[in-house]
Amino acid sequence: MSKRPGSAVAAAALGVITLLLTVIPAGGAAAAPAGSTTTLTGTATPLIVAHRGASGYAPENTLVAADEAARLNTEWVEIDVQRTKDRKLILMHDTTLARTTNAAAVFPDRAPWNVADFTSREIARLDAGSWFGDEFVAERVPTLGQFLHRLTANGQKLLLEIKSPELYPGVERQILRVLDDAGWLEEEYPGERVVLQSFSADSVRAVHEQAPEVKTGFLGTPKVAELPAYAEFSDQIGPRYTDLTAEYVAAIQAVDGVHGEPLEVNAWTVNDGPTAARIAGLGVDGIITNFPDVVREAIGG
């Protein structure tokens, strides 16, 4: 089991604006597991999102990480998606397989073990769990389809990061197709169940253009003056928590996103109680964490 990491110091204030003292929450939501809400919207208590699954307790981006998040009553799960050589979508954070699988041992002559250089069948042979702990030796790298099936069984929801989309032309359309085929885009407004995000503004824009009904998020820290431009194709902004101030959070939420609701702020990645309490106090809408139970204990829910 991984040890809980320490907190970091907040970054300097960004810009000078009028601080909004009240954030008006969105409309009511259906009942959800303890410590979570149904949508990624402004609430008195920020939504808790399990980063790559409950990755403080299980190997990241695996089925068991989703199961661990469910065990911890965490409804929303964040993952990273990339594409294999044979154009299959899999869960993987790094653009290489080296850190979280035994690819170097199984394929010693294929360094640097780029995801895009391996077929899905080759990746399915790899051990994606023992690097984290001996009890996870049987874990494999799941496909996006397999992961969606597990989330459906668990009653969970999905915050999907399109990882390094510049390496995989057209990956946005492919992800949308897999989501649609699995029934994840059937709702009139599928943001109740799934959100697509990326550090690439072009990728987020592509999702919005191809599926305007889908909820989207831009990962990064845009300048306040740039927020209206991002709001033309985004519903959320996802800054690193160390970049946040109350003024910056309020400035983001003062701009309406592409679907007419205030832009939401999801802070990443917060892994200790004191930091979680401080970031929640800034008025963020969501906190992404490897340790959902630690954050919930700190901020309530």
Is residue 59 included in any domain, yes or no? Answer: yes
Q: Is 208 a catalytic residue?
A: no
Phi, psi of 77 (to 5 degrees): -125, 130
Is residue 25 included in any domain, yes or no? Answer: no
Distance between CA 99 and CA 96 in Å, rounded?
A: 7
Active-site residue identified among 51, 149, 208, 259: 51
Is residue 75 included in any domain, yes or no? Answer: yes
Please give the chain's pLDDT, 301 residues, in tens: 333 333 333 333 333 333 332 332 333 322 333 333 433 434 469 999 999 999 999 999 999 999 999 999 999 999 999 999 999 999 999 999 999 999 999 999 999 999 999 999 999 999 999 999 999 998 999 999 999 999 999 999 999 999 999 999 999 999 999 999 999 998 766 788 999 999 999 999 999 999 999 999 999 999 999 999 999 999 999 999 999 999 999 999 999 999 999 999 999 999 999 999 999 999 999 999 999 999 999 998 6
In this prediction, residue 301 carries a pLDDT of 64
DSSP 8-state class, residue 6 = -
Q: Is 93 a catalytic residue?
A: yes
Is residue 71 included in any domain, yes or no? Answer: yes
Residue 59 domain boundaries? 47-95+143-299
Is residue 148 included in any domain, yes or no? Answer: yes
- Domains of the chain: total: 1
Helix (H) or strand (E) holding 286: strand 286-289
Nearest to 61 by CA among 31, 33, 109, 99: 99
In this prediction, residue 186 carries a pLDDT of 86
Strands 89-91 and 157-162, by their bridges, are: unpaired
The single-letter code of the amino acid at 287 is I
Is residue 7 included in any domain, yes or no? Answer: no
With 0-12 CB in 10 A as exposed, 13-18 as middle and 19+ as buried, what is 6? Answer: exposed
Is residue 51 included in any domain, yes or no? Answer: yes
Please give the model's pTM, rounded to 2 decimal places.
0.85
CA distances from residue 281 to 52, 67, 194, 255 in whole angstroms, order as listed: 24, 29, 26, 20
Is residue 35 included in any domain, yes or no? Answer: no
In this prediction, residue 111 carries a pLDDT of 98
Here the CATH number for the domain that contains residue 87 is 3.20.20.190
Per the structure block, which two tokens stand in for 40?
């990624």
